[in-house]
C-alpha cells in the first residue's frame, strides 16, 4: 500500500515541488507571498512560470488555463496551449510570468449583476498563489481571482480572500493582547460532500433530471430509508469502483480524500476530505465535485449533486466544518491552561456574537432553489440559524451569563475566575444532528449548506462577521494588560454572551415547537430563497462588508441580483420542464392506459352478457378523474407562470415563484404521482423511484 504516498500530490505544483524546482531565492520570495500575503514582482513570476511550465510539460501538459469561480458558482476554464511558433515552421513551448499572473478571458457571458456592461466585456483573471496550481487532463490549471477592469470582484474567490485578510488582521490584534504574535491567522475548512449515484440509463430517460438536476415527479419508493440499511452499509461493486477511481484522482490532485461511505438515503454517498485553509479547501471541494461528475460516466453512472434529487428521502448537504488557526494552534480548541481557556472563550464568544448578529446573512449564503426543499424538511436543519454548544460548554456559558458557579460534569464546583476556568473535555460535546451550527469539540459545523453550493459565500460571511467580533473585542481591550486585561476580558465575555444568548439552542431543531420558540426569541426564519436573499443588501450587511473591505456596496448589490436571477431562471426552467413532461410524457401515457381499460371493459362486456365490470369501471373513473385533475393543475400552473414571467422586478418575481408557484407545482406533481400508482408499470413512460434508487 505504498501507492498513496507515491501518487499523492503528484499533479500539484505544491510546496515540495516548488522547493525542488525553484532557485532558493525565488522560493523564499514566493513563500513570503503565500504565507504573509506580500506582493510578488514580475521577475519572480517569470522564474516561477518557467519552472511551472517545465514541470507541467514533463507531466504531459500541453495547455494552461486560469481556473476561476465566476458568480455562477461553478468553475470556469479556457485552455491556451503552450505552443509558440518559432517562425521557421517549428514551435517551442512557452509560458511567461505575465501569462501566469494575469489573463483576459472574454467575460461577457458570465453573470455580473450589471457590474460590467457587455460592451466593456473584458475582465481579468489574477493568479492566486495561495492555492496550488495543478494538472488536470493535460492542462496546467492556475487558480485565479476574476475581476473587472474597474477592480470589482466578479467571482467568489476574491471576497473570500479579502475576508481571510480581515480575520487575519483582527485575530492578530486579539492575540497580541494575549502576548501572542503569529505570522498568519487562517480560517480552516473541511467540507463533507454528499451526492447520489444513479445509472446513466435511468438518467437519460428523465428530462427533469437532465434539465433541473432533480426529479420533478415521482411517487415515494416502496421503501425509503426507514430500514436504515444503506447508511454505512457495504458499498456495492460499481459504486466502489467509482469511489476508488475518484480517490485516486483526487489524491493525485493533492485533495486529501479521507472518508467515504454510504449515506442515509438509498443511492446516496458521502466523501469527506481532511480540512485545510478555507481558500484551498473550497478549490478542492470544487475540484472534487467536478471529478465526481466526470468520473461517474466511466462506470455507467451519473452523479447527482442537487440538494434534493428525490422527494420523500433525504437530500444532500455539504457540512462546512470551520475553525480559526495559526500554525498548529486551533483557537476554537478549549486548550489545557487557564489562559488558553480565556482565549478560547474570547473566540467562542466572538463566534456567538457573529452568528447572532449576522444570522440572516449567513442564511442567505445557502439560499437556493434546490436547498429550499431541504432546509426544514426534517432531514436538515430548519431555515432558522441557531448554535448548539453541547451540555458542558452550554453549562459554562449559562454560568457566565448568570454569574453563578459552574459545576462540571464530574460535579466539581469551580468558580469562574480566570485562573480556574475548567478544563472541559472535547468528548463532552455530544452531537446534535439537528442543529444548523454545532460546536463539535474544536470547530463549528455549519450544516445548512446544500450539496451544490460553492462554500466561498458562507465562509466569506463567517470570516467577515468573526472579524467584526474580534475587532470589537480588540477595540474594547486596547491598552489593557495583565490582570486588568483578564478581568476586563471576562466582563466583556459575560456581557456579550448575555446579549447574544438567544442564538444558543441545544434542543431538537426538527421539533414543531422550535419555530415558535425561535420566533419568541426574535430569531429570523426565512423559509425560502426569495425571503432569504434581501438580507444580502440590508444596510447592516453592506456596512459590515464595507468596514472590512470585503465587498463594496456595488459588489454586494450585483451579487444579490445574480442570486435572484439565478433563482428565478431555475424556477422558470423547472416549471417549463414540468409543463412539458406533463403534456408530452405523462398525459399521453395515462390517456393510453385509460383507453386500454375502456377497451378491456368493452371486450369483457361483449365476451359474456351481464358480466360485472364495476371494478374496471371504477378504475377507469379513477384514471379519467386523475387526468382531469392533472389538466386543472397544469392550467393553474400555466396561468401563474405566465404572470410570473411578466413581472419585471426580480425580487417580486422571486416572491411569486416561492410563495405562489411552488404550491402549484406541488399540486401538479401530486396529480401525476397519484397516477403512477394506478397506471400499469410497463406503460409508465419514465423510470420510477423504485427503478432508480436500488440498482447501483
CB of 121 to ligand ADP, least distance (A): 38
Residue whose CB is less far from Mg ion, 136 or 319? 319
CB of 343 to ligand ADP, least distance (A): 15
- The binder of 112, among Mg ion, ligand ADP, none, by C-beta within 5 to 8 A per type, is none
Q: Which of residues 309-328 bind Mg ion (CB under 5 A)?
A: 319
Residue whose CB is less far from Mg ion, 319 or 500? 319
Residue whose CB is less far from ligand ADP, 272 or 532? 272
**Could you give the CA distance from residue 528 to residue 240 in angstroms, rounded to a whole number?**
36
Helix (H) or strand (E) holding 572: helix 553-581
CB of 441 to ligand ADP, least distance (A): 7
Find cell 455530544 and name the residue: 430
Spell out where 223-331 has E strands.
Answer: 257-262, 268-273, 276-277, 301-304, 318-326, 329-330
Which 3 state secondary structure label does DSSP give 45?
Answer: helix
Which 3 state secondary structure label does DSSP give 108?
Answer: coil
- The binder of 468, among Mg ion, ligand ADP, none, by C-beta within 5 to 8 A per type, is none
Residue whose CB is less far from ligand ADP, 440 or 585? 440
CB of 334 to ligand ADP, least distance (A): 13
What DSSP letter does each residue of 244-259 carry, written as one string?
HHHHHHHHHTT--EEE
**Could you give the CA distance from residue 109 to residue 373 in angstroms, rounded to a whole number?**
29
Half-sphere exposure of 634 (CA within 13 A, CB side): 19
**Could you give the CA distance from residue 387 to residue 469 in angstroms, rounded to a whole number?**
16
- The binder of 165, among ligand ADP, Mg ion, none, by C-beta within 5 to 8 A per type, is none
CB of 639 to Mg ion, least distance (A): 44
Residue whose CB is less far from Mg ion, 194 or 208? 194
- The binder of 329, among Mg ion, ligand ADP, none, by C-beta within 5 to 8 A per type, is none
Helix (H) or strand (E) holding 598: helix 587-607
Instruction: Give the distance from CA 624 to its chain's centroid.
Output: 44
Does the protein bind Mg ion through residue 447 (CB under 5 A)?
Answer: no
Tell me if 129 sits within 8 A of 34, measured CB to CB. yes
Question: Nine-digit cell at 300?
Answer: 455507467
CB of 430 to ligand ADP, least distance (A): 12
CB of 387 to ligand ADP, least distance (A): 16
Question: Nine-digit cell at 680?
Answer: 400499469
- The binder of 528, among Mg ion, ligand ADP, none, by C-beta within 5 to 8 A per type, is none
CB of 30 to ligand ADP, least distance (A): 25
- The binder of 157, among ligand ADP, Mg ion, none, by C-beta within 5 to 8 A per type, is none
Residue whose CB is less far from Mg ion, 274 or 611? 274
Residue whose CB is less far from ligand ADP, 163 or 188? 188
- The binder of 440, among Mg ion, ligand ADP, none, by C-beta within 5 to 8 A per type, is ligand ADP
CB of 273 to ligand ADP, least distance (A): 6
Residues in CB range of 317: below 8 A, 6 or more apart: 192, 194, 307, 374, 380, 447, 448, 449, 450, 451
Residue whose CB is less far from ligand ADP, 207 or 330? 330
Question: Nine-digit cell at 224?
Answer: 425509503
CB of 390 to Mg ion, least distance (A): 14
**Could you give the CA distance from residue 539 to residue 558 in angstroms, rounded to a whole number?**
15
- The binder of 188, among Mg ion, ligand ADP, none, by C-beta within 5 to 8 A per type, is ligand ADP
Find cell 475553525 and name the residue: 323
- The binder of 113, among ligand ADP, Mg ion, none, by C-beta within 5 to 8 A per type, is none
Find cell 422571486 and name the residue: 654
Residue whose CB is less far from ligand ADP, 61 or 462? 462
Does the protein bind Mg ion through residue 308 (CB under 5 A)?
Answer: no
CB of 321 to Mg ion, least distance (A): 7
Residue whose CB is less far from ligand ADP, 285 or 353? 285
Binding site for ligand ADP (CB under 6 A): 188-190, 192, 272-275, 321-323, 330, 440, 442-443
- Measured from each CB, the residue nearest to Mg ion is 319
CB of 333 to ligand ADP, least distance (A): 8
The total number of residues shown for the chain amounts to 696
- Identify the CA nearest to 270 among candidates 193, 199, 197: 193
- The binder of 323, among Mg ion, ligand ADP, none, by C-beta within 5 to 8 A per type, is ligand ADP
End-to-end CA distance of the chain: 28
Query: What are phi and psi for residue 102, nearest 5 degrees?
Result: -140, 140
- Measured from each CB, the residue nearest to ligand ADP is 190
What DSSP letter does each residue of 474-497 carry, written as one string?
HHHHTT--HHHHHHHHHHHHHHHH
Residue whose CB is less far from ligand ADP, 3 or 328? 328
Q: Which of residues 641-680 bind Mg ion (CB under 5 A)?
A: none
Work out the burial of residue 607: count CB atoms within 10 Å of its CB; fewer than 13 is exposed, 13-18 middle, 19 or more buried.
Answer: exposed
Residue whose CB is less far from ligand ADP, 149 or 232? 232
Residues in CB range of 19: below 8 A, 6 or more apart: 27
Residues in CB range of 127: below 8 A, 6 or more apart: 45, 66, 100, 101, 102, 142, 143, 144
Task: By CB under 5 A, name the binding residues for Mg ion.
Answer: 319
Amino acid at each position: 500500500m505504498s501507492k498513496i504516498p507515491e501518487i499523492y500530490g503528484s499533479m500539484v505544483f505544491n510546496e515540495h515541488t516548488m522547493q525542488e524546482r525553484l532557485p532558493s531565492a525565488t522560493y523564499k520570495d514566493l513563500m513570503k507571498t503565500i504565507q504573509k500575503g506580500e506582493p510578488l514582482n514580475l521577475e519572480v513570476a517569470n522564474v516561477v512560470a518557467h519552472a511551472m511550465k517545465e514541470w507541467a510539460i514533463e507531466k504531459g501538459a500541453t495547455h494552461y488555463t486560469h481556473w476561476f469561480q465566476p458568480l455562477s458558482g461553478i468553475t470556469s476554464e479556457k485552455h491556451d496551449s503552450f505552443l509558440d511558433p518559432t517562425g521557421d515552421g517549428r514551435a517551442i513551448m512557452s509560458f511567461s510570468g505575465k501569462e501566469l499572473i494575469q489573463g483576459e478571458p472574454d467575460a461577457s457571458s458570465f453573470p455580473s449583476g450589471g457590474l460590467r456592461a457587455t460592451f466593456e466585456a473584458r475582465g481579468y483573471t489574477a493568479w492566486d498563489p495561495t492555492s496550488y496550481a495543478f494538472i488536470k487532463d493535460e492542462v496546467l490549471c492556475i487558480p485565479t481571482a476574476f475581476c473587472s477592469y474597474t477592480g470589482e470582484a466578479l467571482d467568489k474567490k476574491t471576497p473570500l480572500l479579502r475576508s481571510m485578510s480581515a480575520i487575519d488582521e483582527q485575530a492578530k490584534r486579539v492575540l497580541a493582547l494575549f502576548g501572542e504574535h503569529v505570522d498568519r491567522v487562517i480560517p480552516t475548512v473541511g467540507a463533507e460532500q454528499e451526492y447520489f449515484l444513479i445509472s446513466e440509463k435511468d438518467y437519460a430517460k428523465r428530462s427533469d433530471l437532465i434539465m433541473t438536476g432533480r426529479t420533478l415527479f415521482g411517487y415515494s419508493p416502496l421503501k425509503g430509508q426507514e430500514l436504515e440499511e444503506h447508511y454505512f452499509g457495504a458499498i456495492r461493486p460499481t459504486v466502489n469502483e467509482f469511489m476508488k477511481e475518484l480517490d485516486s484522482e483526487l489524491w493525485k490532485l493533492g485533495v486529501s480524500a479521507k472518508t467515504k461511505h454510504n449515506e442515509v438515503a438509498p443511492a446516496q454517498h458521502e466523501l469527506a476530505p481532511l480540512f485545510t485553509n478555507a481558500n484551498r479547501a473550497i478549490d478542492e471541494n470544487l475540484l472534487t465535485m467536478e471529478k465526481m461528475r466526470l468520473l461517474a460516466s466511466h462506470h455507467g453512472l451519473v452523479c447527482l449533486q442537487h440538494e434534493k434529487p428525490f422527494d420523500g428521502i433525504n437530500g444532500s448537504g455539504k457540512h462546512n466544518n470551520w475553525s480559526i488557526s495559526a500554525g498548529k494552534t486551533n483557537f476554537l480548541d478549549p486548550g489545557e491552561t487557564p489562559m488558553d481557556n480565556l482565549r478560547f472563550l474570547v473566540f467562542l464568544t466572538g463566534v456567538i456574537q457573529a452568528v447572532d448578529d449576522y444570522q440572516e446573512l449567513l442564511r442567505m449564503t445557502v439560499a437556493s432553489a434546490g436547498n429550499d426543499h431541504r432546509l426544514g424538511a426534517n432531514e436538515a436543519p430548519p431555515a432558522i440559524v441557531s448554535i448548539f454548544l453541547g451540555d458542558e460548554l452550554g453549562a459554562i456559558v449559562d454560568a457566565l451569563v448568570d454569574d453563578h458557579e459552574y459545576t462540571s460534569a464530574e460535579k466539581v464546583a469551580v468558580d469562574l475566575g480566570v485562573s480556574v476556568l475548567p478544563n472541559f473535555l472535547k468528548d463532552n460535546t455530544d452531537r446534535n444532528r439537528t442543529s444548523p451550527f454545532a460546536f463539535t469539540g474544536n470547530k463549528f459545523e455549519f450544516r445548512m449548506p446544500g450539496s451544490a453550493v460553492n462554500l466561498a459565500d458562507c465562509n466569506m460571511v463567517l470570516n467577515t462577521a468573526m472579524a467584526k467580533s474580534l475587532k470589537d473585542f480588540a477595540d474594547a481591550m486596547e491598552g489593557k494588560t495583565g490582570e486588568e486585561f483578564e478581568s476586563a476580558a471576562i466582563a466583556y465575555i459575560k456581557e456579550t454572551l448575555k446579549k447574544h444568548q438567544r442564538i444558543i439552542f441545544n434542543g431538537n431543531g426538527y421539533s414543531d415547537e422550535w419555530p415558535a420558540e425561535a420566533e419568541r426569541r426574535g430569531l429570523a426564519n426565512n423559509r425560502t430563497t426569495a425571503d432569504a436573499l434581501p438580507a444580502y443588501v440590508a444596510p447592516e450587511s453592506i456596512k459590515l462588508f464595507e468596514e472590512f473591505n470585503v465587498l463594496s456596496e456595488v459588489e454586494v448589490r450585483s451579487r444579490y441580483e445574480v442570486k435572484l436571477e439565478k433563482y428565478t431562471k431555475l424556477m422558470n426552467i423547472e416549471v417549463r420542464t414540468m409543463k412539458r413532461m406533463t403534456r408530452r410524457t405523462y398525459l399521453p401515457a395515462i390517456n393510453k392506459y385509460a383507453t386500454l381499460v375502456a377497451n378491456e371493459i368493452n371486450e369483457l362486456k361483449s365476451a359474456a352478457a351481464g358480466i360485472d365490470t364495476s371494478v374496471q369501471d371504477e378504475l377507469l373513473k379513477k384514471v379519467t378523474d386523475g387526468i382531469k385533475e392533472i389538466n386543472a393543475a397544469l392550467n393553474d400552473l400555466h396561468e401563474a407562470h405566465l404572470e410570473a414571467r411578466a413581472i419585471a422586478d426580480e425580487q417580486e418575481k422571486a416572491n411569486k415563484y416561492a410563495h405562489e408557484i411552488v404550491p402549484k407545482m406541488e399540486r401538479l406533481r401530486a396529480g401525476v404521482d397519484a397516477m403512477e400508482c394506478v397506471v400499469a408499470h410497463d406503460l409508465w413512460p419514465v423510470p420510477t423511484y423504485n427503478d432508480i434508487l436500488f440498482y447501483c
